[in-house]
């Protein structure tokens, strides 16, 4: 008989992961066993843990997006949007 392992997670994580595993044709137990076996094979976690670092351009774009609060240009083509942006740059 195999020992039982219990763990806690929130409902959203369990539901989302369960849906993915179902599409893959595996159970939650299968997925956890795969993770544990891969951890053993790798001698640690089977993926890299890191804190994402953003460059200045990305940080500026995120700040601009936050400041605009969804008031961006909508319903235009990419070409029309680029033309508008070039016109704004010329005005400055």
Residue ranges covered by each domain of the chain: 1-48, 56-91
pLDDT at 75 over 70: no
The distance in angstroms from the start CA to the end CA of the chain is 74
Largest CA distance in the chain: 75
Mean pLDDT of the residues in the chain: 86
pTM above 0.75, yes or no: no
Give the pair of three-digit tokens for residue 68. Answer: 């605009």
> Tens digit of pLDDT for each residue in 27-70?
999 999 999 999 999 999 999 998 878 888 888 887 887 777 76
pLDDT number for residue 64: 80
Nearest CA-CA partner of 85 in 68, 71, 70, 72: 72
CATH architecture of the region 1-48: Orthogonal Bundle (1.10)
Q: CA angle, corner 37, sides to 36 and 42, nearest 5?
A: 100
């Amino acid at each position: 008989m195999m020992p039982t392992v219990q763990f806690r997670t929130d409902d959203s994580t369990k539901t989302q992961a369960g849906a993915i595993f179902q599409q893959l044709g595996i159970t939650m137990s299968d997925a956890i066993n795969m993770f544990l076996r891969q951890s053993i094979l790798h001698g640690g976690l089977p993926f890299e843990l890191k804190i994402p670092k953003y460059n200045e351009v990305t940080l500026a774009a995120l700040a601009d997006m936050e400041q605009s609060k969804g008031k961006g240009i909508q319903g235009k083509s990419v070409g029309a949007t680029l033309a508008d942006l070039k016109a704004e740059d010329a005005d400055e």
